[in-house]
Amino acid sequence: MSLTDKEIIEKLNRENELLKKRIEKLEKLLLAYENPHTPPSKERFKERPLIPDEDKKKNGQKENHEGITRPQAKPDKIISVTATHCHCNRKLGLPVLIESKIIEEIPKPQPVIVIQYDISHYYCSCGAHIIASHPDCPKEGRFGKNLLSHIALLKFEDRLPHRKISEALIRDYKIKISPGSIFDCTRRVADALAEQHKQLMKKIRRSTVVYVDETEIKVQGKTYHLWVFTTNKITVFVIRKSRGEDVIKEVLGKKFKYTIVCDGWRVYASYTGNLQRCWAHLLREAESLANKVHSAKTLYEGLRRIFIQVKAITKRTPEKLRQKIHNSLITQLQQWVDYTENYKELRKFGTKIKNGIKYWCTRVLNPKIEPTNNLAEQKLREPIVQRKIFGTLRNEKGTKIMEILLTTITTWKNQNIPTQEKIASLL
């Protein structure tokens, strides 16, 4: 029995209503995943930015940008490539031209070197038991220092799971190490670097500006928090259950007298009044709002202009002038807060500006401070990628290993210290 036109239309309308409800539900789920606080690296769908054409970054090489040419490698070996006969079988004389072509190559994977250490024991007449030692012989286990440091970097720099590390070692070196033993190797490296981690914790406390951020991480399926405390030279990671002020006190001390650059998470303001709030977060949220609400476009442009002024301050700007600029910008921010009071849809965002009004222009008074928390967000990118690959840490031991190795490896990279050699020297 065929349907009438009326029945077909009614059916299509019902299906349309169901689809509308489904779309609405999916949009709500997407908002839960992605919001104005979401960094650009995590955004799935980007709205058209409200950036004037003149301020848009152009693709390709920037104006006045000096290109970087890779330096020519110095040859370790020179091979003469010659010929004796032409294809017509006539004998060739001396070459009329020698063309040099430099090739960079890696050696074939070398077989594992197995070393036996015959360790002498002694008894002294004083009763002491003396055991001889060798700098290249590890105190624990049967794997050498270079192998242990290589495994640590495969895990925490190359982001390989234990199973893939095991496969890579078989492929490249014909050495079989089980995934469980791989974990134990990283534990041994972490034990050897624990003192380094402790010293870096002490050093970060003496830094005049510290950039702080945190993100969720799973441990045995439960939500923990991976914190980063960083400068241009030192980066410290800690993994804790808490996202509260107690973690900041643990790392920076109960009374930190210098400046923290951070997002708007309330625990920072309760810890110290010496803050620089992140303009990247503020502008992302303002831009997102401007794409939805017409009255927010003027607000977004006004905040952008203030940010440009904050960013333009340098050490060469006289102190008295910086103070005047600071007071002027605070006044402008208050005016924008007042502006939001006129629009219901902007009041919540206006409150955010107001709550942090003391902290948006700290950089004007101290140009050493960056106006965004991008540095901390950049340092979190590597562990965030690892989080996506590994899913969850299996135990508390894993959290300790991760925070020690991430801290030391990242810090040494900041300082251009060869990481593998550094790790091996401390084992």
Q: Is 122 helix (H, G, I), strand (E, B) or coil?
A: strand
Among residues 106, 104, 105, 108, the alpha carbon closest in space to that of 172 is found at 108
DSSP 55: G
Asked if residue 277 belongs to a domain, the reply is yes
Asked if residue 166 belongs to a domain, the reply is no
Positions of E strands within 149-306: 209-219, 222-230, 235-240, 259-262, 275-277
pLDDT at 38: 59
Asked if residue 41 belongs to a domain, the reply is no
**How far apart are the C-alpha atoms of 388 and 157, rounded to whole Å?**
14
Q: Is 181 helix (H, G, I), strand (E, B) or coil?
A: helix
For residue 43, how far is the Cα from the chain centroid? 16
The separation between the first and the last C-alpha atoms of the chain, rounded to the nearest angstrom, is: 82
Asked if residue 33 belongs to a domain, the reply is no
Residue 47: how many other CB atoms lie within 10 Å: 11
Asked if residue 88 belongs to a domain, the reply is no
**How far apart are the C-alpha atoms of 32 and 26, rounded to whole Å?**
10
For residue 312, how far is the Cα from the chain centroid? 26
Positions of E strands within 108-208: 121-123, 129-131
Among residues 382, 289, 395, 399, the alpha carbon closest in space to that of 344 is found at 289
> What is the extent of the structural domain holding 298?
209-376
Our separate counts of H helices and E strands in the chain read 14, 8
**Contact by Cβ (8 Å): 193, 404:** yes
The partner residues of 224 in beta bridges, in order of sequence, read: 217
Residue 183, both tokens = 């974990």
pLDDT tens-digit profile, the chain (427 residues):
466 777 777 777 887 888 877 777 776 666 655 555 555 555 554 444 554 554 555 565 656 556 667 788 888 889 999 999 999 999 999 888 989 988 888 888 778 889 999 999 999 999 999 999 998 888 778 899 999 999 999 999 999 999 999 999 999 888 999 999 999 999 999 999 999 999 999 999 999 999 999 999 999 889 999 999 999 999 999 999 999 999 999 999 988 989 999 998 899 999 999 999 999 999 999 999 999 888 899 999 999 999 999 999 888 889 899 999 999 999 999 999 999 999 999 999 999 999 989 999 999 999 999 999 999 999 999 888 888 888 788 888 889 999 999 999 999 999 999 999 999 999 8
Determine the Cα angle at 140 with ends 136 and 146, to 5°: 40
Q: Which residue has the tokens 């259950």?
A: 241
From residue 231, give the alpha-carbon distance in Å to each of 209, 236, 373: 7, 9, 11
**How far apart are the C-alpha atoms of 302 and 59, rounded to whole Å?**
26
Asked if residue 424 belongs to a domain, the reply is no
From residue 40, give the alpha-carbon distance in Å to each of 37, 283, 368: 9, 12, 25
Which secondary-structure segment (H or E) carries 297? Answer: helix 295-312
**Contact by Cβ (8 Å): 258, 274:** yes
pLDDT at 113: 87
pLDDT at 51: 47
Q: Are strands 259-262 and 392-393 parallel, antiparallel or unpaired?
A: unpaired
Asked if residue 367 belongs to a domain, the reply is yes
pLDDT at 232: 93
**How far apart are the C-alpha atoms of 141 and 365, rounded to whole Å?**
55
Asked if residue 222 belongs to a domain, the reply is yes
**Contact by Cβ (8 Å): 212, 227:** yes
> Domain total for the chain?
1
**Contact by Cβ (8 Å): 346, 410:** no
**Contact by Cβ (8 Å): 239, 399:** yes
